[in-house]
Amino acid sequence: MNADLVIILTAILVSTASALVGSFLVLRRMALLSDAISHAVLPGIVLAYWLSGGERATVPALLGAAAAGLVTVVLVEWLTRTGKVKNDAAIGIVFPALFSLGVLAVSLFFRNVHLDMDAVLYGEIAYAPFNTLNLWGREVPESWLVMGSLTLLNLLFVLLFYKELKLSTFDPGLAAALGLAPGALHYGLMTLVSFTSVGAFQSVGAILIVAFLIIPPATAYLLTRRLPVMIALAVGVGVVSSLAGYALAIWLDASIAGMMATVAGLCFTLAFLFSPVEGYLTARLRRERQRLEVAARLLVAHLAHHDQPVPEGEVLEEFGWNPRFLKQVREKARQAGWLEVVREGLRPTARGLAMSSALLEPDP
């Protein structure tokens, strides 16, 4: 089977599974908790490996990871409810402790097996084509089976409980009043995050799974305010990051997982700067246009109170503007057809007088 296809499809499945649950984490302001879970599942994996007698099995690892993820969520929420520490501090306390416990267990008791810290942290998606299972007489990449199943599971969860997830995300109080059990949905979502994290460990490692859980949904959040569109955009950003990241990694002979995470970060940067909804530069340009329009209307209203053209020097003195800003305001008003420049100064046009009259008329 083509190795490039295996790697690319594995990355797409990981990014898609992550985007489906990560979108709700971002909306619930729990993005850092996904980072905590993706690291804290390690002791659960180690425990499952020990209980299964050292067998390399995916199902026990998934169950152990889910248990560790739920323990992480419960401990974080318990610490937060005590009122002694804030939520972010509770996350910072719980996940390093659990992750360190897992690392110690690996280094002390499983030194000669496949559970090594480099694989957990970084993974190596380039090895995905070599990890295969025999399915109906054909060799199928294990990553396809695992991540394909998890992607389908996450998709079914979102589709079946979409209304409940949406309501409990934006108004958990109302969801509880309507009997939708937001607590059960919360722990179900965290369980799927745990499943997705451990399912992607062997292929991509903790760093890329955290990137795919947070960055594409955060990017989509900057681009839209509609939940279905946000989920679709998050999936799309993950797919683009997978394809472009792999192509750039091959071209530059760099880390595949690292390049995919870098491309996802670049997508977020572009959305942060240029998003029509929440883009930093877009918002600044919009505010600047609004500022100029308000100033232009104010200038025309001022000119409308004079029978003769008003010299620009008098306008500068009246409003306290600098010449550069006055020039921008004058051009804005001229483009709108509100004023004209004559030898004596500035005067409003008929259109400007009409606008000024409408602006100064009291509301009925």
For residue range 99-111, list pLDDT tens digits in order. Answer: 888 778 777 766 6
> Where in the chain are the domains?
3-276, 281-360
130 secondary structure, DSSP code:
G
Among 21-25, 33-37, 306-310, 338-342, which stretch is predicted with the lowest mean pLDDT?
A: 33-37
Res 183: pLDDT: 84
Fold held by 3-276:
ABC transporter involved in vitamin B12 uptake, BtuC (1.10.3470)
CA 171 – CA 150 distance, rounded (Å): 27
Q: In 28-115, where does DSSP find H-type helix? A: 31-51, 58-81, 87-109
For residue range 163-204, list pLDDT tens digits in order. Answer: 999 999 998 888 888 888 888 888 888 888 888 887 777 677
Res 1: pLDDT: 67
Res 17: pLDDT: 94
Beta bridge partners of 140: 133
* Count helices and strands in the chain by DSSP H and E runs: 15, 4
CA 43 – CA 28 distance, rounded (Å): 26
- pTM, to two decimals: 0.83
Name the average pLDDT for the chain: 85
For residue range 144-167, list pLDDT tens digits in order. Answer: 888 899 999 999 999 999 999 999
Residue 122 binned pLDDT confidence (cut-offs 50, 70, 90): low
CATH of range 281-360; options 3.20.20.80, 3.40.50.2300, 1.10.10.10, 3.30.70.270: 1.10.10.10
Res 114: pLDDT: 54
* Closest listed residue to residue 22, CA positions, set 200, 167, 221: 221
* For range 349-356, the mean pLDDT: 86
CA 85 – CA 211 distance, rounded (Å): 26
Residue 113 binned pLDDT confidence (cut-offs 50, 70, 90): low
More confident position, 7 or 123:
7
Contacts of 254 (CB under 8 A, 6+ apart): 248
Res 84: pLDDT: 85
CA distances from 303 to 299, 308, 310, 321, 346 (A): 6, 9, 7, 15, 7
Q: Cβ distance 197 to 191 under 8 Å?
A: no
Q: In 161-181, where does DSSP find H-type helix? A: 162-170, 172-177
Centre a 10 Å sphere on the Cβ of residue 152 and count the other Cβ atoms it contains: 12
> 3-class SS at 344?
coil
Among 35-44, 66-75, 313-322, which stretch is predicted with the lowest mean pLDDT?
A: 35-44
For residue range 225-269, list pLDDT tens digits in order. Answer: 999 999 999 999 999 999 999 999 999 988 888 899 999 999 999
More confident position, 250 or 208:
250
